[in-house]
Amino acid sequence: MRRPLALLSPVLLVGALAAPAAADGVDGDAGFTIRDPRITESSGLAASRLHPGVYWTHNDSGDGPYLYAVDGSTGETVATLTLSGIGSPRDVEAISIGPGDRIFVGDIGDNLGGTWPHVWIYELPEPKELRDQTVRATQYVVTYEDGPRDAESLLVHPRTGRVYLIDKKEDGGHLYEGPAELSPSGTNVFRRGPAVDLWATDAAFSPDGERFVVRGYFGGLWYEWNGGDIRRKGRISVPLGQGESVTYTADGTKILLGMEGANSPVRAQDAPGGEPSDGPRTPSGGTGAAASEDGGTDEGTLRVGAVGLLVVCAAFFGLRRLRRPR
């Protein structure tokens, strides 16, 4: 989503102080930069299981029915998919990969405060060959049991294939559970579940389905899945700014956090709640500006506070008043 640069620039400044850039990794697990000039509003990120080291992304609203496969070792786009069999995307905010290498795309944004009577989810097979091509997708109509709402987070459980959404509210949202199987005919009603204590812009399951992470503009959380009876375990740090995406790497050892903007960086840190991929882990499971368990001291937050607390607060209250024009 586009936001005035004057309000975002203080946040980006503090984000730069809080999260130094990671060097490009062989398969993206150390972070990378999205190089494609067409991708200026990367709003979702999903690690391919079929093509290790490749990450699927998409632009926010107004781009069209396109998905981009980005090579994590170079940041270059290696394939562009054009979705057929669907209408005109309205506000695409999230992407996830479910069992059987099925890609799910969430056309679920509604920044006008929940004015659209329904939103859409698209499902398509991940292509076995990475090349520019048109892929037919299935379109699902989605509503919420308690009325329309804005959302930017879509999760697909890697074992059950069940789809979940988290609504985006400044004071925290809820996890909404979809039907056991989405139906392409009729309406798929998502039922309200437990609270998620964050102004959420994206979320992702770990590859084993035992945990999930939720990110926002100013911080993040991780939860144990616990069969759907979710348990909040701790915080994660995020690069501050227009942060719109998060995914686990295919092996589950890292999480990657993406941003909007041209040449947008994707930052990497150790996945919370699991064993580190190499070297000792900070108490919360992050790297660098790592977050603490609930009730502890967040090293990254303290550093940001020391250098830019007033700037962050000003940007926060500015963002609260923003709404994207249509």
pTM: 0.81
Inform me whether the pLDDT recorded for 276 exceeds 60: no
Residue 17: name the closest of 298, 297, 305, 296 by CA. Answer: 305
The answer to whether residues 109 and 178 touch, using CB atoms and an 8 Å cutoff, is: no
Look up residue 90 and give its two tokens.
């309205």
Confidence (pLDDT) at 27: 67
Confidence (pLDDT) at 1: 45
Inform me whether the pLDDT recorded for 304 exceeds 90: no
Mean pLDDT of the chain: 82
Q: pLDDT tens-digit profile of 87-145?
A: 999 999 999 999 999 999 999 999 787 789 999 999 999 999 999 999 999 999 999 99
Distance CA 218, CA 239 (A): 8
Per-residue pLDDT band for 300 (boundaries 50, 70, 90) equals very low
**What does the pLDDT average to over 18-23?**
39
Residue 116: name the closest of 87, 84, 157, 155 by CA. Answer: 87
Residue 153: name the closest of 227, 214, 112, 110 by CA. Answer: 214
The answer to whether residues 308 and 17 touch, using CB atoms and an 8 Å cutoff, is: yes
Confidence (pLDDT) at 181: 97
**What does the pLDDT average to over 165-180?**
97
245-269: b or e for each residue (b if 16 or more CB lie within 10 Å)? bbbbbbebbbbbbbbbbeebbbbbb
Who's near 142: CB < 8 A, 6+ residues apart? 108, 118, 119, 120, 121, 165, 178, 187, 188, 190
Confidence (pLDDT) at 4: 36
Inform me whether the pLDDT recorded for 285 exceeds 60: no
Which has the higher per-residue pLDDT, 3 or 171?
171
